[in-house]
Structure 1
Amino acid sequence: MTLETTGYVTVVQDPDGLPDGWSDVGAVALVCRERRVKGQKNEGTGHYYITRLRVSAAVLAGYIRNHWGIENGLHWVLDVAFREDDSRARTGHAGANLGMLRRVAVSLLKRAKTKGSIKTRRMKAGWDDNYLLQVIPGITAQ
């Protein structure tokens, strides 16, 4: 498979015609991306960003990339350690509720002062009640 992604960022500094109360807006940006996979139809997307910053397109593109790097890192952990993509919770708010619990668990496991990956720490917390009590602050053994 051959994958190619191209894109560009267009920034309008101090845009005109914004609603009252939007005086803090420094720039509006449009990020356009095109994804090409050999043998498949090309896909194009456009995403708008509003910021107080008055920076160049290159600087803003870097901020956007860094944000998505952090976001994608969290999703990778959720999928690897919790197999979130395999979840079949579809009724009512079950998916959102379980997703929130997974994120809380990742946060607690990251704070744990032990070695090992999040997946390893999760398994250890499931097997060892004493370790689980260390991971969850404010809980004591009975």
Structure 2
Amino acid sequence: MYLEAFTTFFSELTDTRQSAKITYPLEDILFVTLCGVIAGAEGWSEIRDYAAGHLDWFQQHGYLSDGVPVDDTIARTISRIDPEQFRLCFIKWMQAVHEITQGQLIAIDGKTLRGSYQRGNRQSTIHMVNAFACKNKLVLGQVKTSEKSNEITAIPELIKLLDIEGA
């Protein structure tokens, strides 16, 4: 159920690559990247190594039928994805695989992303507000804010995106 849900929701993403040059479906690269990051991969080459190490499993589940893409292909493909479109697909996917029960605790919290600070530009730090289902330890969605002080204005935007009535 969860694998099919992933492909269903992320197939809505616009693939901006030239169709004649596509060897690896966008859903394959997204799923491999997600699995690699969850497993602790840091960087494109580690995501590729993870995929190569689990190639049989991916192929048994219908992914990577043409083998593992090189790390540059993964990086290029991921970098071309529209972040807003990805965020909406991710939220829909989480809603599909997570059932909210009456009275469930949803924590809403702001975070500053580690490593997003650039020395030359103090304004470059990325601030996010996310909704977290405490019982299942699952992020349901997140919204980027322009500054840490804008978290309070981002919370209503995040709540509107989620179906969390009664939680």
TM-score by length of 2: 0.24
TM-score by length of 1: 0.27
Structure number with greater Rg is: 1
